[in-house]
Amino acid sequence: MPAISERDLAATIDHAILKPEMTRPQVDAELDIAAQWGVFSVCVRPSDIAHAVRRLEGTGVAVGTVIGFPHGTTSTVAKVAEVTQALADGASEVDMVVNIGFLRSGFDDAVVDDIRAVVDAAHGRIAKVILETSYLDDEQIARGSRLTEAGGAAFVKTSTGFGGGGATVEHVRLMRANVGPRVQVKASGGVRGLETALAMLDAGATRLGTSASATILGELRAIGGGAGPTGARDDSSY
Instruction: Render each residue's pLDDT in the chain as its tens digit; 238 residues.
Output: 578 999 999 999 999 999 999 999 999 999 999 999 999 999 999 999 999 999 999 999 999 999 999 999 999 999 999 999 999 999 999 999 999 999 999 999 999 999 999 999 999 999 999 999 999 999 999 999 999 999 999 999 999 999 988 999 999 999 999 999 999 999 999 999 999 999 999 999 999 999 999 999 999 999 983 344 433 333 333 4
Residues annotated as part of the active site: 95, 157, 186
As a 3-state breakdown, the chain gives helix, strand, coil percent values, each rounded to 5, of 45, 15, 40
**Cα separation values, 210 from 56, 111, 200, 214, Å:** 18, 26, 12, 10
**Cα separation values, 116 from 13, 74, 97, 110, 120, Å:** 25, 15, 13, 10, 6
**Cα separation values, 152 from 84, 111, 155, 164, Å:** 18, 12, 9, 28
Burial class from Cβ neighbours inside 10 Å (0-12, 13-18, 19+) for residue 154 reads buried
pLDDT attached to residue 1:
57
The CATH classification number of 6-223 equals 3.20.20.70
Tally of CB atoms within 10 A around 140: 17
The answer to whether 118 touches 85, Cβ cutoff 8 Å, is no
pLDDT in tens, 160-182: 999 988 999 999 999 999 999 99
pLDDT attached to residue 74:
98
Tally of CB atoms within 10 A around 182: 9
Tally of CB atoms within 10 A around 59: 15
Closest CA to 45 of 74, 70, 71: 70
Rounded CA separation 62/146 (Å): 27
The model's pTM is 0.93
CA angle 43, 47, 53 (to 5 degrees): 60
- CA within 13 Å, CB half, 163: 22
**Cα separation values, 223 from 3, 198, 217, Å:** 12, 14, 10
pLDDT attached to residue 2:
75
Closest CA to 94 of 76, 78, 80, 74: 80
Does residue 97 sit in helix, strand or coil?
A: strand
**Cα separation values, 238 from 131, 161, 168, 169, 214, Å:** 16, 5, 14, 17, 13
Ordered by start, the domain boundaries in the chain are 6-223
